[in-house]
Amino acid sequence: MDYKDAGVDIEAGRDFVTQIRQDVQSTFRPEVLGGLGGFGGCFELPTGYQQPVLVSGTDGVGTKLKIAQVLNRHETVGIDLVAMCVNDILTSGAEPLFFLDYLATGKLKPEQLAQVVKGVATGCRQSGCALLGGETAEMPGFYELGEYDIAGFCVGVVEKSKLLDGSQVELGDVAIALASSGVHSNGFSLVRKIIDSQDVAWDSKPGILGGISVGEELLKPTQIYVKPILELLASDIEVHGMAHITGGGLPENLPRCLSQNQSIAVNLDSWEILPIFRWLADIGNIKSEAMLETFNMGIGFVVLVNPEQVDVTKEWFHSQNIAAYEIGRVVGGDGKLVVA
């Protein structure tokens, strides 16, 4: 017997690396040292920092992958993977520098997984970070045929004096919410339970979704906010805090950017709830509280600014074709979301 008899195809692995090489190299920044294929990726710190602080983050895509695998659509989940990591470290004010991915499957299908990596490369280009390396594990008997899982890890940098850690947030600061592109990459265990319990076909097109199929809507990739936020931080607008709205929705994530003895009072009628959330709540008979604590409900990212800079902040995001809403303000409290 040999390794192939055990279910691991070395030649398929080599073919996979060949297919992804151009996509990976398209993400390289000037600080990348060396090329693809080494045991470790090397990255030189950018110049111009007095006290550089490295900020790291890691995440996955969750059971959204199940939908991608059922529909045989793999080109967007790689974007999700990058987005979940870079949006997290962005809340500290960090610029993403490089990204690593881990991809595990039962049987390596080079064409399938090359689509995943193409999405990862797209996400890296959108966020300006290099896809520095990764690992592809073929694990026969651990995953079913056609199944795979992905995880990501990124590192960014911020000047220590500009690191956002909650201490800059002041009472009266206003929360400006940025629109999400859809469900993003959270709550898909509940999404799938709703779909399965109601026998909804993935290619069905409910009228509320405007002619888009259920599967297509749910596979919309997570919005990456890196470039517009970094440009905002480099402007005259003073940002005091930021939050990435992921699992747990606004109640879980918005208080994470606060200082001690602070809360955020939010007006739930101050932004547009996307049709996909109204549809899920309706067919699944999900209470509004459960929706708010599970999904982003149309908000993917929040910035906290001085009240005097609210209008200019909203106008700036609108100039970047990003819908922005004034949803609340910082008040005294015990670190919880308060419904105004």
Please provide the distance, in angstroms rounded to a whole number, between the alpha carbons at the two ends of the chain.
Answer: 68
Q: 10-162 and 174-339: same fold?
A: no
CA distance 168 to 92: 11
Closest among 117, 115, 93 to 239, alpha carbons compared:
93
Instruction: Report DSSP letters for 205-230, one per residue.
Output: --GGGTT--HHHHHTPPPPP-HHHHH
CA distance 67 to 52: 40
CA distance 257 to 148: 34
Residue 177 DSSP symbol: E
pLDDT for res 7:
66
Q: What is the CATH number of domain 10-162?
A: 3.30.1330.10
How much of the chain is in helix, strand and coil states, percent to nearest 5?
A: 35, 25, 40
CA distance 242 to 185: 19
Q: What is the pLDDT of residues 87-116, one digit of tens each?
A: 999 999 999 999 999 999 999 888 999 999
Bin 7: left if φ > 0, else alpha if -120 < ψ < 50, else beta. Answer: left
Q: What is the pLDDT of residues 124-172, one digit of tens each?
A: 999 999 999 999 999 998 998 889 999 999 999 999 999 999 999 999 9
Residue 62 has a CB neighbour count (10 Å cut-off) of: 17
Residue whose pair of structure tokens reads 């905002």 in the numeric block: 232
Closest among 329, 308, 163 to 233, alpha carbons compared:
163
pLDDT for res 24:
86
Q: What is the pLDDT of residues 186-231, one digit of tens each?
A: 999 999 999 999 999 999 999 999 999 999 999 999 999 999 999 9
Mean pLDDT over 1-13 rounds to 68
Q: Under 8 Å CB-to-CB from 30, ≥6 apart: which residues?
A: none
Q: Where are the domains of the chain?
A: 10-162, 174-339
Mean pLDDT (the chain) is 94
> At the topology level of CATH, where does 174-339 sit?
Phosphoribosyl-aminoimidazole Synthetase; Chain A, domain 2 (3.90.650)
Q: What is the pLDDT of residues 232-267, one digit of tens each?
A: 999 999 999 999 999 999 999 999 999 999 999 999
Strands annotated E in the chain: 32-33, 42-43, 52-60, 95-105, 130-138, 148-159, 174-179, 239-244, 262-266, 299-305, 324-332, 337-339
